[in-house]
């Protein structure tokens, strides 16, 4: 293939991401994991499915980073997944150290790559990845909003008994309990859901979206969601690989946009060949702005905690 994407972490999210990238024939895929044989085994298994799935994407697995050299995109899913009852923030220290190691290894070999971070706690991990890689802010982003919006869309479609394809939803803010779904800009065939559903029902769907990750963790009992997170990461990668100029909500580094500075927060951006090509500023109501600021404050707390942990 013309393009190459490295996926770090060959666990549930990483392996599913590799599968979707290959089956959509978007690129060759290098799958990397610290666990000996895991990435190699999954890559080989996926490669052996290729004749049946009818694609020619190359798939290799490795524990080291040499084969990742020259990647167009590096998707980082390495980390420890959230267990039931565990908050994303509990994961902070372990995943921070993992993120530092894998980012340094990958960035050294693919200095022109776009980094898509998936590991949680997402917004904090994006900071680590940007600091460690030294990449410009247009080439470091976190996957959260696409997943959160997809969850909201799923619930809207089920509630109204319409195709998910008719739904559109925007979710801003951090990937956590303070995320900010925007019902007034969420539509079904162009009609705002505020004209189709009662306030109570919208509030219920918003709440389910907000706790969507925890709902899956509670059901799975071991591990967290991976099918939808992988789909979301692949949608972002596809927009970049195909230079689609697609507007998607992503966690990006803000420097004054939406009144937020020096923090990764989820906002709509245009994705193309150069990564984040534009941050789209939409006019928010006072209540929405306040909710977004609250969400940004939660990210800030996490970043401060992380800096404290890093100095211990």
Tokens of 217: 């963790």
Segment contacting ligand APR by CB under 6 A, of 22-30, 42-50, 183-191, 222-230? 222-230
Phi, psi of 111 (to 5 degrees): -65, -15
Binding mask 251-290 for ligand APR (x = CB under 6 A): ----------------------------------------
Number of H helices, E strands in the chain: 9, 14
The answer to the question of residue 117 lying near ligand APR (CB under 6 A) is no
Could you tell me if 284 and 170 are in contact, meaning their C-beta atoms sit under 8 angstroms apart?
A: no
Could you tell me if 133 and 140 are in contact, meaning their C-beta atoms sit under 8 angstroms apart?
A: yes
The answer to the question of residue 226 lying near ligand APR (CB under 6 A) is yes
**Least separation, in Å, of the C-beta of 258 and ligand APR?**
25
Given the complex with ligand APR, which of 62 and 247 has the nearer CB atom?
Answer: 62
- Give the whole-angstrom CA distance, residue 253 versus residue 129: 11
User: Can you state the angle between helices 212-220 and 199-210, rounded to 10 degrees?
Assistant: 60
Segment contacting ligand APR by CB under 6 A, of 112-120, 163-171, 184-192, 193-201? 112-120
Segment contacting ligand APR by CB under 6 A, of 117-125, 235-243, 257-265, 304-312? 117-125
**Least separation, in Å, of the C-beta of 115 and ligand APR?**
14
The answer to the question of residue 41 lying near ligand APR (CB under 6 A) is no
Tokens of 68: 């990742």
3-state secondary structure (DSSP) of residue 179: coil
Given the complex with ligand APR, which of 45 and 243 has the nearer CB atom?
Answer: 45
**Least separation, in Å, of the C-beta of 190 and ligand APR?**
32
Alpha-carbon torsion (116, 103, 213, 302), positive or negative:
negative
Per CB under 6 A, the list member of 102, 140, 172, 236 interacting with ligand APR is 102
Alpha-carbon torsion (16, 19, 25, 30), positive or negative:
positive
Q: What is the DSSP string of 254-267?
A: EESGGG-EEEEEEE
Tell me, yes or no, if 175 is annotated catalytic. Answer: yes
Residues 6+ apart with CB under 8 A from 149: 169, 170, 171, 249
Segment contacting ligand APR by CB under 6 A, of 40-48, 113-121, 129-137, 254-262? 113-121
3-state secondary structure (DSSP) of residue 221: coil
Given the complex with ligand APR, which of 121 and 183 has the nearer CB atom?
Answer: 121
Per CB under 6 A, the list member of 22, 29, 79, 135 interacting with ligand APR is 79
Comparing CA positions, the residue from 74, 69, 63, 62 lying closest to residue 21 is 74
The answer to the question of residue 14 lying near ligand APR (CB under 6 A) is yes
Number of residues that bind ligand APR (CB under 6 A): 28
**Least separation, in Å, of the C-beta of 215 and ligand APR?**
14
CA torsion angle for 227, 183, 173, 273 (degrees, to 10)?
Answer: 60
Active site residues: 175
Chain residues in the site for ligand APR (CB under 6 A): 8-14, 32-35, 38, 77-79, 81-82, 95, 98, 101-102, 118-120, 223-224, 226, 229
């Amino acid at each position: 293939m013309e393009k190459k994407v490295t996926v770090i972490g060959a666990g549930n999210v990483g392996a599913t991401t590799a599968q979707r990238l290959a089956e959509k024939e978007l690129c060759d895929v290098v799958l990397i994991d610290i666990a000996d044989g895991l990435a190699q085994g999954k890559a080989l298994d996926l490669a052996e499915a290729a004749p049946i799935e009818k694609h020619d994407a190359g798939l290799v697995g490795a524990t080291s980073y040499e084969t990742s050299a020259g990647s167009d995109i590096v998707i980082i899913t390495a980390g420890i997944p959230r267990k039931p009852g565990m908050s994303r923030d509990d994961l902070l220290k372990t995943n921070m150290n993992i993120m530092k190691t894998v980012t340094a290894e990958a960035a050294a070999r693919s200095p022109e790559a776009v980094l898509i971070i998936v590991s949680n706690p997402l917004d904090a991990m994006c900071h680590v990845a940007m600091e460690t890689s030294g990449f410009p802010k247009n080439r470091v982003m976190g996957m959260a909003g696409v997943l959160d919006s997809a969850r909201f869309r799923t619930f809207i479609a089920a509630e109204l008994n319409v195709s998910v394809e008719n739904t559109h939803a925007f979710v801003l803010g951090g990937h956590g309990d303070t995320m900010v779904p925007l019902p007034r800009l969420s539509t079904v065939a162009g009609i705002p859901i505020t004209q189709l559903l009662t306030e109570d029902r919208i509030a219920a769907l918003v709440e389910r979206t907000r706790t969507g990750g925890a709902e899956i963790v509670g059901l799975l009992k071991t591990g967290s969601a991976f099918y939808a997170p992988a789909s979301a990461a692949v949608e972002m990668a596809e927009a970049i690989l195909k230079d689609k100029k697609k507007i998607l909500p992503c966690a990006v580094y803000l420097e004054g946009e939406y009144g937020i500075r020096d923090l990764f927060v989820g906002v709509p951006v245009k994705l193309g060949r150069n990564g984040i090509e534009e941050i789209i500023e939409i006019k928010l109501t006072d209540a929405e702005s306040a909710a977004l600021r609250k969400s940004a404050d939660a990210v800030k707390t996490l970043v401060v905690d992380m800096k404290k942990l890093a100095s211990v």
